[in-house]
Amino acid sequence: MSQLPAPVPQPFGAGLSTTVSSAAAAYLDAGLQGADNTRRAYLSDLGVFDRFCAERNRCPLPADVATLIEYVTYLADTPPEPRATARPTTAPRPPRKFATLKRHLAAIQKNHQLHGYDSAIAAPELAAVLDGIARLKGKRQKQAPAFTVDHLKQVIRGLDRATPAGLRDRALLLLGFAGAFRRSELEALDVDHVHLTSKSLLIDMGSSKTNQYGELENKAVFYAPVELFCPVRAVLEWKELLGRTTGPLFVRLSRGAAGEPSRLSKHRLTAKGINELVQKHFGAHFTAHSLRASFVTVAVQKGQSNKAIKNQTKQKTDAMIERYARLNDVEEFNAAQHLGL
């Protein structure tokens, strides 16, 4: 008796394509694909996995547990390839973070789901290997450092407010810090998202990392006593220079002729550009995430409640505040200093 061929797996939800409306199909696709930033990261990770499998003659879809074990071992032991656009450097590339390994596996699992395959991600053998990597390599993540308010003020003093670059950078740094913004949120801001009220500058928020469903959210930043360091005045001055009521709030600048200041462009400043801007002014070991981490750190030091902090950061749990606050310096923040000895 001949054996029947195994059924060919179908993409998740494929059977609905002819039985639901085009609008319903679009919602299904959006739910499957997830957030834009996550999708971009997954596509990049899957490219690494596909090359790994091709070079070793392994099957990426469906991938067996042995392939996944070899892959996470490769990720843990091999520094990532430099990006094609990266500047040449002789410095060794740092190893991948443990969280990066988990993200690669999440991308593989999602890809299996979308193509109708079960994945071996939950295999106990793979879990044991990951536990071994965590024990031998460590799983502490390198965190963006926080800057102090004095450091921020020093940077702001050094900006030339007579130039578009100085006005833009002042507005972005003060708003990013006072609003506890992620760089993706700063990138997405439009001019008409910003409204002046009797109490504050209110910023309407679209979807974000913790609000992927576009619920109505906003942030508020307030006047500061010193005009130079005031995020409200800084943003209003920048908006006045832009001279428009729609379009991106923060834009790239095009170089002017020799001796002339940079000119405004119509192109949105990217998340990468925001990161480079922060590093330009604070130093290479800082990142755009330092704006957000610094807000949380300063707020905790000032005795603000977790609820008040979460109202601005939009974090969902108190545990995230503990994770974001950069209070791990054992000499600077330690109860042993206050024992009365």
Burial (CB count <10 Å: 0-12, 13-18, 19+), residue 334: exposed
pTM over 0.75: no
Contacts (Cβ under 8 Å, ≥6 apart) of 291: 173, 176, 177, 180, 181, 183, 278
- For position 4, what pLDDT does the model report? 45
For residue 62, say if its preceding peptide bond is cis, omega within 30 degrees of 0: yes
d(Cα 147, Cα 149) in Å, to the nearest integer? 7
- Look at residue 31 and tell me whether its pLDDT is greater than 70: no
Place of tokens 């940079």: 262
- Sheet with 194-196: strands ordered across: 194-196, 201-205, 217-221
- For position 7, what pLDDT does the model report? 43
- Look at residue 5 and tell me whether its pLDDT is greater than 70: no
d(Cα 215, Cα 55) in Å, to the nearest integer? 45
268 pLDDT band, cuts 50/70/90, is: very high
- For position 221, what pLDDT does the model report? 92
- Look at residue 335 and tell me whether its pLDDT is greater than 70: no
Mean per-residue pLDDT, 143-151: 85
CA distance to 136, 168, 175, 237, per residue, from 243 (Å): 56, 13, 19, 10
Contacts (Cβ under 8 Å, ≥6 apart) of 39: 33
Q: Which of 134-138, 195-199, 237-241 has the lowest mean pLDDT?
A: 134-138
DSSP, collapsed to helix, strand or coil, labels residue 253 as strand
Half-sphere exposure for 330 (CA within 13 Å, toward CB): 0
Mean per-residue pLDDT, 2-17: 47
DSSP, collapsed to helix, strand or coil, labels residue 328 as coil
Between these two residues, 35 and 258, which has the higher pLDDT value? 258
d(Cα 248, Cα 266) in Å, to the nearest integer? 8
d(Cα 49, Cα 72) in Å, to the nearest integer? 10
Contacts (Cβ under 8 Å, ≥6 apart) of 61: 111, 112, 115, 117
**Beta partners for 194?**
203
Q: Write down all domains in the chain, each with its CATH number in brackets.
A: 14-137 (1.10.150), 149-329 (1.10.443.10)
3-state helix, strand, coil in the chain (%, to 5): 50, 10, 40
Half-sphere exposure for 248 (CA within 13 Å, toward CB): 19
Mean per-residue pLDDT, 85-107: 70
Q: Residue 85: phi, psi to the nearest 5? A: -90, 0
Contacts (Cβ under 8 Å, ≥6 apart) of 269: 172, 186, 187, 248, 250, 251, 252, 277
User: Are the CB atoms for 266 and 247 separated by under 8 Å?
Assistant: yes
- Look at residue 63 and tell me whether its pLDDT is greater than 50: yes
Q: 189-206: per-residue pLDDT in tens?
A: 999 999 998 889 999 876
Max CA distance (Å), the chain:
88
216 pLDDT band, cuts 50/70/90, is: low
Contacts (Cβ under 8 Å, ≥6 apart) of 279: 286, 287
Between these two residues, 66 and 308, which has the higher pLDDT value? 66
